[in-house]
Amino acid sequence: MKYHPITDTIDLQASQRDILDTHEFKSVYPTLSEYLDSFEQQGIPAKNNLKQLLNFLVTGLSNAKGTQSRFRNEAERFTLFCLHVPAHSDHPFRFNPITDFGLIRSPISELSDQK
């Protein structure tokens, strides 16, 4: 099983998210683009999963750099898990685990008083 870091540094995550669906992404992140494409070819929505992760890190935690640093590693590990599970599992969430785990919406507003 081959792993690849999927998020850039904290200061560059917003720009990484913004170019994710563009042709520029392939030139700025060539190996990451190939890595994500390998999952996309298997029907796994890797770019969508990365976009959800980056949205959470940039939007949900943008003003809390210390919190973002701590969450980044754990959230990236979970996203990598979600990318690799479909290839090796018959579990029903395997086609889009990020959606099935309910991470499309921000848990910040669900778990706190922030709206």
Model confidence pLDDT, tens digit, residues 60-111: 766 667 777 777 888 888 787 777 776 655 555 445 555 555 544 455 555 4
Supply the pLDDT for residue 114.
Answer: 47
Q: With pLDDT > 90 as the criterion, what percentage of the chain qualifies?
A: 20
> CA distances (Å), 103 to each of 19, 22, 54, 98, in order?
21, 23, 12, 6
Please give the residue that has the higher pLDDT: either 3 or 44: 44
Please give the residue that has the higher pLDDT: either 57 or 89: 57
